[in-house]
């Protein structure tokens, strides 16, 4: 099992990629959740059953719309083509959506999109993991996911500047 720091580096890289993809679509993105907390707070929070443990990674806005994004790196099985989301995260995120009245999206490595409702409605109970927390997961067929462009819009074209106009 990779170390926490190795898993964090993979997760941070995925968050940067999602941020870049959103920026290309005109979204302003800010880090949010445990990623902005100091290490002592993160460690202490992990020892509680508070739903704050599941605060999404990013918050984004465009044209007055605000969304919450939880980046899911290495949470898709290549053999079964299913996305995995921890049950506790889905429960916390359903509560967060109700409380904030903001949409929340899970973004996987391939940029597939699911919502907590998708996970709850179409996921099946999976086994407890042997890596990480050992918690139970919901497994959602990848073909139930939405495309990134469908949810966040297509990438905006950047204006090409002609050399002759300079």
Q: What is the distance between the alpha carbons of residues 133 and 131, in angstroms, rounded to a whole number?
A: 6
| Contact indicator for 151, 105 with CB cutoff of 8 Å | yes
Predicted model pTM? 0.86
Torsion angle of C-alpha atoms 7, 12, 17, 23, degrees rounded to 10: 160
- How do the domains of the chain map onto residue ranges? 4-151
pLDDT of residue 162: 46
Q: What is the distance between the alpha carbons of residues 102 and 76, in angstroms, rounded to a whole number?
A: 25
Compute the residue count for the chain. 166
- The string of DSSP letters for 64-117 reads TEEEEEEEETT-B-TTT-EEEEEHHHHHHHHHHHHHH---EEEEETT--EE-HH
Phi, psi of 129 (to 5 degrees): -75, 155
pLDDT of residue 34: 83
Q: What is the distance between the alpha carbons of residues 154 and 21, in angstroms, rounded to a whole number?
A: 9
CATH of domain 4-151: 3.40.1350.10
The gap from C-alpha 10 to its chain's centroid, in whole angstroms, comes to: 13
Tens of pLDDT along the chain (166 residues) come to 456 677 778 888 999 999 999 999 999 999 998 888 888 998 899 899 899 999 999 999 999 999 999 999 888 877 788 999 999 999 999 999 999 999 999 999 999 999 999 999 999 887 665 455 567 889 999 999 999 999 999 998 764 444 544 4
């Amino acid at each position: 099992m990779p170390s926490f720091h190795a898993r964090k580096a993979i997760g941070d890289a995925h968050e940067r990629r999602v941020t870049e993809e959103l920026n290309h679509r005109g979204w302003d993105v800010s880090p949010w959740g445990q990623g902005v907390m100091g290490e002592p707070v993160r460690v202490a929070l992990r020892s509680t059953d508070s739903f704050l443990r599941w605060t999404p990674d990013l918050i984004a806005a465009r044209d007055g719309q605000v969304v919450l994004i939880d980046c899911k790196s290495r949470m898709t099985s290549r053999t079964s083509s299913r996305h995995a989301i921890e049950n506790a995260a889905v429960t916390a995120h359903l509560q967060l959506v109700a409380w904030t009245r903001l949409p929340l999206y899970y973004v996987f490595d391939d940029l597939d999109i699911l919502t907590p409702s998708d996970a709850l409605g179409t996921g099946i109970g999976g086994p407890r993991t042997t890596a990480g927390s050992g918690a139970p997961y919901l497994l959602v067929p990848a073909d139930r996911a939405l495309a990134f462009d469908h949810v966040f819009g297509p990438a905006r074209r950047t204006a090409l500047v002609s050399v002759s106009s300079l």
